[in-house]
Amino acid sequence: MAVQTAPSTSRGQRTLKINVTVNGVRHDVEVEARTLLVHFLRENLGMTGTHIGCDTTNCGACTVLLNGRAVKSCTVFAVQADQGTVATVEGLERTASSIRSRRASTRSTVCSAAFALPG
Ligand code: FES
């Protein structure tokens, strides 16, 4: 992890520069060292599909894929995702939507082919 430190914020918190790819989009940002990944996703990136469901790390509502592994983003600091890739429910929805439209397109092509064939 090649985290660069930056000057402290007005609240006296140390910030760190991180580079994270979320749902295929790269983000070079500064975050406070104590920022949880779930807060980074919701507040910094506006990805509110990742929910905070508890204070006990038991519910799993905050689950995302970090470098392909499911993690509870309320238990991971944003700086731990530096140089990594994150997939949220928004990214999974885009993937599912793409698969659905590809399937629909394939069905349409198959139906067209069936009409074009004699017999
Ligand atoms: S918010 Fe419940 S496990 Fe993370």
**Tens digit of each residue's pLDDT (9 = 90 or more) over 51-80:** 999 989 999 999 999 999 999 999 999 999
Helix or strand (DSSP H, E) at 28: strand 25-32
pLDDT on residue 12: 72
Q: Are 45 and 28 in contact (CB under 8 A)?
A: no
Please tell me the predicted confidence (pLDDT) of residue 93.
Answer: 76
Q: Which alpha helices (H) appear in 1-119, and where do they start and end?
A: 37-39, 89-116
Q: Is the pLDDT of residue 9 over 80?
A: no
Place of tokens 């940002």: 29
Cβ 54 under 6 angstroms from ligand 1: yes
Question: For position 102, what pLDDT does the model report?
Answer: 75
Q: What's the half-sphere exposure (Cβ side, CA atoms, 13 Å) at 46?
A: 0
| Alpha-carbon torsion (10, 15, 18, 22), positive or negative | negative
Q: Report the nearest-CA residue for atom 3 of ligand 1.
A: 57
Which tens digits make up the pLDDT trace of 76-110? 999 999 999 999 999 987 776 767 777 776 666 55
Is residue 8 within 6 Å of ligand 1 at its C-beta?
no
Residues 6+ apart with CB under 8 A from 39: 78
Domains of the chain: 4-87 (3.10.20.30)
Looking at the CA of residue 74, tell me the nearest atom of ligand 1: 4
Position 101 scores a pLDDT of: 73
Q: Is the CB of 57 under 6 A from ligand 1?
A: yes
